[in-house]
Amino acid sequence: MNQFLRNLTPTQQVAALFLIVFGLLAIVSATAFFLTFRERRNPVHDAAWQAELAHFRALLGTTWFMVVIFWIGWALGETVATVLFALISFFALREFITLSPTRRGDHRSLILAFFVVLPIQFWLVATARFDLFTVFIPVYVFLAIPVTSALANDPSQFLERNAKLQWGIMVCVYGMSHVPALLLLSFPGYEGKSAFLVFFLVFVVQTSVLVQHLISRRTQRAPFAPNVSRSFNWTSWGIGIVVASLVGALFSFITPFKFGQALAVSVIACIAGSMGHLVMKALKRDRGIPNWGKKGVGVTGANGLLDRVDALCFAAPIFFHSIRWYFNA
């Protein structure tokens, strides 16, 4: 069966994925809708239950968002996909900076981040300059940001202000830029199918986050870091990693990986994504907000855009460099 699916053309594989993924999402979404409608008339369940259901719907919406982004990127080609992820990166960075206090002396650094660093980073990705795009931000930009800030002649909270901006660039620009970079990897016998690597990464990471949330609500185990996340515990985390990794292994037919290889890279991506999701929750607690975006409402509606892509921003670089190193792609 696996070999049969591998022998399908890219168009046929996309059609098969469309039926499988959108069919599953449609079924789960319909179930969540009818469950919500029923529970509204049930006085037994309290506000906490309704809040949990609302959070699950938000995670489901995130999954829809990321899957739709994949299809758009696949349909419009590598260049348009890179531009699309650059726009996502721009708005995610905007949400991050909006909730990070800035001063007049930060204006030059912000202009550098949004209108110089971000375009150059994604241009390096689009032109497949892998050796440079992997060090451009961690080396050159991390040195340029404090220099620009120092030239603004404002030493007040200098370290804190620059660290926040550097961290925002690292997560929102550097991390996100590794998603379209997957489109440019080359594997023998896998020509024209690199978009499936993006889908594979997104689907596996989102499955892990969804399963972890569902299990944590059912097991009611003590949270490991209650001041950061009341839903994060090792049991739900482990089950989420296992389930999502097995799902990734079953989808190995759309990747250049064998079953065991797909299982291994899925574990790596899920661990990175789940820990990144936890880190971003800690940042939100530090800022005293429930969601990213102005007053908890981002450019995408109920939740901020960064809420939808935070796990991906952490998983993408780890996933990209792991498979590029191991397969010498």
Q: Which of 163, 280, 299 is nearest to 290 (CA)?
A: 280
Confidence of residue 187 (pLDDT cuts 50, 70, 90): confident
Q: Is 309 exposed, middle or buried (0-12, 13-18, 19+ CB in 10 A)?
A: buried
Average pLDDT score over the chain: 81
Give the residue with greater pLDDT, 204 vs 3. Answer: 204
pLDDT of the residue at 314 = 94
Count of C-beta atoms within a 10 Å radius of residue 296: 15
Question: What Cα–Cα distance (Å) separates residue 10 from each residue in 13, 54, 191, 265?
Answer: 5, 37, 9, 22
Assess whether pLDDT exceeds 60 at residue 183.
yes
The pLDDT tens digits of the residues spanning 135-175 come to 999 999 999 999 999 998 888 888 888 999 999 999 999 99
The Cα–Cα gap between 219 and 2 comes to: 34
Helix/strand/coil (H/E/C) assignment for every residue in the chain? CHHHHHCCCHHHHHHHHHHHHHHHHHHHHHHHHHHHHHHCCCCCCCHHHHHHHHHHHHHHHHHHHHHHHHHHHHHHCHHHHHHHHHHHHHHHHHHHHHCCCCCHHHHHHHHHHHHHHHHHHHHHHHCCCHHHHHHHHHHHHHHHHHHHHHHCCCCCCHHHHHHHHHHHHHHHHHHHHHHHHHHHCCCCCCCCCCHHHHHHHHHHHHHHHHHHHHHHHHHCCCCCCCCCCCCCCHHHHHHHHHHHHHHHHHCHHHCCCCHHHHHHHHHHHHHHHHHHHHHHHHHHHHHCCCCCCECCEECCECCCHHHHHHHHHHHHHHHHHHHHHHHCC
Among 112-116, 122-126, 224-228, which is the least confidently predicted range? 224-228
Among 52-61, 138-147, 316-325, which is the least confidently predicted range? 52-61
Which of 81-85, 220-224, 320-324 reaches the highest mean pLDDT?
320-324
Q: Is 55 exposed, middle or buried (0-12, 13-18, 19+ CB in 10 A)?
A: middle
Read off φ and ψ for residue 189, nearest 5 degrees: 75, 10
Average pLDDT over residues 14-32: 69
The pLDDT tens digits of the residues spanning 62-95 come to 667 766 766 676 667 778 888 888 998 999 999 8
pLDDT of the residue at 302 = 41
Question: What Cα–Cα distance (Å) separates residue 8 from each residue in 15, 30, 249?
Answer: 10, 31, 18
| pTM for the full predicted model | 0.80
Give the residue with greater pLDDT, 22 vs 323. Answer: 323
Give the residue with greater pLDDT, 288 vs 269. Answer: 269
pLDDT of the residue at 225 = 79
Q: What percent of the chain has pLDDT over 90?
A: 32
Residue identified by tokens 């935070």 is: 310
The Cα–Cα gap between 204 and 54 comes to: 22
Residue identified by tokens 């599953």 is: 24
Q: Are 52 and 217 in contact (CB under 8 A)?
A: yes
pLDDT of the residue at 117 = 96
Assess whether pLDDT exceeds 80 at residue 114.
yes
pLDDT of the residue at 294 = 53
Q: Are 215 and 235 in contact (CB under 8 A)?
A: yes
Average pLDDT over residues 110-117: 94
Confidence of residue 36 (pLDDT cuts 50, 70, 90): low
CB within 8 A of 312, min separation 6: which ones? 66, 175, 176, 179, 201, 202, 205, 273
